[in-house]
């Protein structure tokens, strides 16, 4: 079916102009000041975008949907996560495949793919975690890259679970360099965290407010430095996920100055929430436990400024949903057992608009760059995604900047029992969201087809 978006203000990472956009067979085929009615196919869906922005579909390059983690499973499936994503204007998800240390990589890839097939309503792809790397399994990673997964993930954190040994990290980064695959990395020193956790617990400090002290900024900065040292030695392209604080950002920028090919992601909770959230009474602070932890408020300006100056490439979510009632409470007696994560896939774009653009911290083009275009470019999806160009997928967000509402659990699709941003004022909302030319969400509600989402095969571009 054809789609016509009439009279919107088109905002890309570099442009701002008013035009009609027309799509046929899932792709953008015309962008003109006024498309003649005679050129519009009978039965075409017409969206009136006058007074609204038209953005390229937003891409979240860091989500967890199927996630066996910390003795439980993340609460979403592809249906709930896609609905949440689309309601908030996100049309493409990049999910982390996080196998256990004894899982075979190809089997893990097949498992993660099977969780998306038939349930995804957004387009999707994966970063493949390397949690061990002996000689025997290298062919499996080659096979996974050939199948279209052109990015790896490594964890310098989570000792005894996802954490990769230095020997394997070095070998995996060399391998990635040879394949032209970018390595995304969770950078925190696992051994330092382990020691700090043990001493805090031994001193009787068990509540969620001790999660932050167990992983201070210097522990994250050390992880960034370590990864960048290997990248400098090997020439591997690296992408630091969820950079949360000034100290870690400084390390990454220092490495970049030395010539390391390093890109920086930060995630929306770190821009808008701070370390005091974990102090909430009645164990409610557990809702705000994620890693790296929420930081001192002063770091928020550093992150916003990093995006504004385009030193930080992307704003993702690290969506990792765990229910408060029976999952976060697994850590009642020890903060080390609280499943880490703050669900945000539905709220990300509206929070960036509300707290970034409407608060004069970012302009519209920078918002599009950080929430869509940079992820497409870094992960081999551009210009199919992240652009409004002839031939691009017709993934479009008609955004109403005049909308006023509040963030609430009631309106959220994620399978959790709380909203980390409950009651906050929301400025702006996606009025219509299309995936390959079909409207999948309207006015913050999912109206699309479950199962319409496609796996995006990517080539190595690094
Ligand atoms: O707290 C977090 N970030 N949970 C998800 C796992 C990860 O480290 O990305
Ligand atoms: Zn992480
Ligand atoms: Zn993550």
Residue 317, burial from CB neighbour count under 10 angstroms (0-12, 13-18, 19+): buried
Q: Is the CB of 291 within 6 Å of ligand 1?
A: yes
Residue 162, burial from CB neighbour count under 10 angstroms (0-12, 13-18, 19+): buried
Cα separation, 166 vs 128, in Å, equals 18
Confidence grade of residue 294 (pLDDT, cut at 50, 70, 90): very high
The 10s digit of each residue's pLDDT in 322-331 is 999 999 999 9
Atom of ligand 1 nearest to the CA of 290: 1
Residues whose CB is under 5 A from ligand 2 (ion)?
186
Name the token pair of 144. 């996974």
Q: Do the beta carbons of residue 128 and residue 97 sit within 8 Å?
A: yes
**103 contacts: CB under 8 Å, gap ≥ 6:** 131
Shortest-distance Cα residue to atom 9 of ligand 1: 318
Q: Is the CB of 186 within 6 Å of ligand 1?
A: yes
Atom of ligand 1 nearest to the CA of 341: 1
Atom of ligand 1 nearest to the CA of 186: 8
**101 pLDDT more than 90:** no
Q: Is the CB of 188 within 6 Å of ligand 1?
A: no
Give pLDDT, residue 46.
Answer: 98
Cα separation, 431 vs 246, in Å, equals 35
Cα separation, 243 vs 434, in Å, equals 30
Taking the centre of ligand 2 as the mean of its atom positions, its distance from the CA of residue 269, in whole angstroms, is 13
- Sheet strands (E) in 290-334: 314-316
Name the token pair of 69. 């983690």
Q: What 3-state DSSP class applies to 22?
A: strand
The 10s digit of each residue's pLDDT in 211-222 is 999 999 999 999
Ligand nearest to the CA of 320: 1
Give pLDDT, residue 240.
Answer: 98
Measuring CA to CA, how many Å separate 265 from each of 187, 273, 293, 315?
A: 12, 17, 15, 6
Q: Do the beta carbons of residue 142 and residue 175 sit within 8 Å?
A: no
- Cα three-residue angle 423-429-430, rounded to 5 degrees: 140
Atom of ligand 1 nearest to the CA of 157: 8
Q: Is the CB of 129 within 6 Å of ligand 1?
A: no
H/E stretch holding 267: strand 262-267
Q: Is the CB of 318 within 6 Å of ligand 1?
A: yes
Give pLDDT, residue 194.
Answer: 98
Name the token pair of 229. 């040292």
Confidence grade of residue 333 (pLDDT, cut at 50, 70, 90): very high
The 10s digit of each residue's pLDDT in 136-168 is 999 999 999 999 999 999 999 999 999 999 999
Taking the centre of ligand 2 as the mean of its atom positions, its distance from the CA of residue 291, in whole angstroms, is 6
Q: Is the CB of 245 within 6 Å of ligand 1?
A: no
The 10s digit of each residue's pLDDT in 354-365 is 999 999 999 999
Q: Do the beta carbons of residue 89 and residue 430 sit within 8 Å?
A: yes
The 10s digit of each residue's pLDDT in 231-264 is 999 999 999 999 999 999 999 999 999 999 999 9
Cα separation, 273 vs 297, in Å, equals 8
Taking the centre of ligand 1 as the mean of its atom positions, its distance from the CA of residue 435, in whole angstroms, is 27
pTM, 2 dp: 0.98
Mean pLDDT of 53-59: 99
Shortest-distance Cα residue to atom 8 of ligand 1: 291
Q: Is the CB of 340 within 6 Å of ligand 1?
A: yes
Pick the closest to residue 83 from 454, 403, 447 (CA basis). 447
Question: Ligand 1: which of 341, 343, 345 to mutate, most ligand atoms within 8 Å of CB?
Answer: 341
Q: What 3-state DSSP class applies to 190?
A: helix
Question: Ligand 1: which of 318, 328, 337, 338 to mutate, most ligand atoms within 8 Å of CB?
Answer: 318
The 10s digit of each residue's pLDDT in 177-206 is 999 999 999 999 999 999 999 999 999 999
Give pLDDT, residue 300.
Answer: 98
Taking the centre of ligand 1 as the mean of its atom positions, its distance from the CA of residue 461, in whole angstroms, is 26
- The DSSP bridge partners found for residue 16 are 11
Cα separation, 368 vs 418, in Å, equals 28
């Amino acid at each position: 079916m054809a789609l016509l978006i009439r009279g919107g203000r088109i905002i890309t990472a570099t442009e701002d102009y008013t035009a009609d956009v027309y799509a046929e067979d899932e792709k953008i085929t015309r962008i003109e000041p006024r498309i003649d009615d005679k050129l519009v196919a009978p039965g075409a869906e017409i969206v009136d975008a006058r007074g609204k922005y038209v953005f390229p579909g937003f891409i979240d390059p860091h989500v967890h949907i199927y996630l066996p983690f910390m003795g439980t499973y993340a609460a979403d499936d592809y249906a709930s996560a896609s609905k949440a994503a689309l309601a908030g204007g996100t049309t493409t998800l990049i999910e982390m495949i996080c196998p256990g240390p004894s899982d075979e990589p190809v089997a893990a890839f097949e498992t993660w793919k099977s969780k998306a097939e038939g349930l995804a309503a957004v387009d999707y792809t994966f970063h493949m975690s390397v949690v061990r790397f002996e000689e025997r399994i290298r062919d499996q990673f080659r096979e996974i890259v050939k199948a279209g997964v052109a990015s790896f993930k490594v964890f310098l954190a989570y000792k005894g679970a996802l954490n990769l040994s230095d020997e394997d990290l070095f070998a995996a980064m060399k391998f990635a360099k040879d394949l032209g695959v970018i390595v995304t990395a969770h950078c925190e020193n696992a051994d330092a965290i382990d020691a700090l956790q043990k001493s805090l617990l031994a001193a009787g400090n068990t509540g969620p407010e001790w999660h932050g002290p167990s992983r201070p900024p210097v522990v994250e900065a050390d992880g960034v430095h370590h990864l960048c040292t290997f990248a400098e030695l090997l020439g591997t392209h690296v992408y630091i996920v969820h950079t949360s604080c000034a100290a870690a950002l400084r390390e990454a920028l220092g490495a970049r100055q030395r010539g390391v090919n390093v890109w920086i992601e930060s995630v929306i909770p770190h821009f808008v929430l701070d370390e005091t959230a974990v102090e909430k009474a009645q164990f409610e602070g557990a809702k705000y436990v994620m890693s790296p932890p929420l930081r001192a408020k002063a770091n928020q300006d550093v992150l916003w400024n990093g995006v504004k100056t385009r030193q930080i490439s992307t704003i993702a979510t690290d969506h990792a949903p765990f229910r408060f009632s029976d999952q976060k409470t697994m850590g009642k007696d020890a903060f080390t057992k609280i499943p880490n994560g703050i669900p945000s896939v539905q709220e990300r774009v509206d929070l960036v608009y509300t707290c970034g653009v409407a608060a004069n911290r970012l302009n519209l083009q920078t918002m599009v760059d950080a929430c869509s275009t940079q992820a497409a470019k870094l992960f081999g999806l551009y210009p199919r995604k992240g652009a409004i160009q002839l031939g691009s997928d017709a993934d479009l967000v008609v955004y109403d900047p005049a909308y006023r509402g509040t963030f609430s659990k009631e309106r959220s699709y994620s399978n959790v029992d709380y909203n980390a941003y409950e009651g906050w004022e929301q400025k702006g909302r996606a009025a219509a969201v299309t995936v390959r030319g079909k409207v999948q969400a309207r006015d913050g509600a999912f109206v699309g087809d479950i199962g319409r989402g496609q796996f995006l095969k990517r080539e190595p571009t690094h």
